[in-house]
Amino acid sequence: MTQPQIPTAHTPSELPPMPIDPAWIQEGTPIACGAVLTQSQDKLLSSGYWSCTAGKFQWVFSWDEFVCILEGEVTIREAGGATHTLKAGDVAHFPRGLTTYWHVPKYVRKFFTLRTAEPFHL
């Protein structure tokens, strides 16, 4: 039998902690959780889930990230000034190197896909 070509994973009922850098937190005590669940064989593409409670924080993208908001909402301001409010069903792409400022009013949960320049080892 050959190795499976399609990586699969089950959505966990609870996500493990994935803390935000304390230096990036601007307001509140946002609690972030997440997990990478699947990866391409070369480890350059990864996907998973991430959630966060209320707060404001900076986020600098070390990779290209595509997201689909599953629950809640978030308002994201780009360092250049453009502002985007994403709600359940919305999708977005964050290019590598982008500095953003996140405001999560209550809660947000997203599915993400990352494209990294180097293999992303878990």
- Whether pLDDT at 5 is above 90: no
Q: Which two tokens stand for residue 10?
A: 């089950």
Rounded distance, CA 49 to CA 111, Å?
A: 5
Instruction: State pLDDT tens for residues 58-69.
Output: 999 999 999 999
User: 115 and 64 in contact (C-beta within 8 Å)?
Assistant: yes
- Domain residues of the chain, as ranges? 22-115
Element (H, E) at 52: strand 45-60
**For residue 62, which amino acid is it?**
S
Rg (CA), the chain: 15
Give the architecture-level CATH label for domain 22-115: Sandwich (2.60)
pTM greater than the 0.95 cutoff: no
Task: Tell me the C-alpha distance between 13 and 61, whole Å.
Answer: 26
What would the pLDDT profile of 13-54 be if each residue is shown by its tens digit?
899 999 999 999 999 999 999 999 999 999 999 999 999 999
Residue 106 is inside which H or E element, if any?
strand 99-115
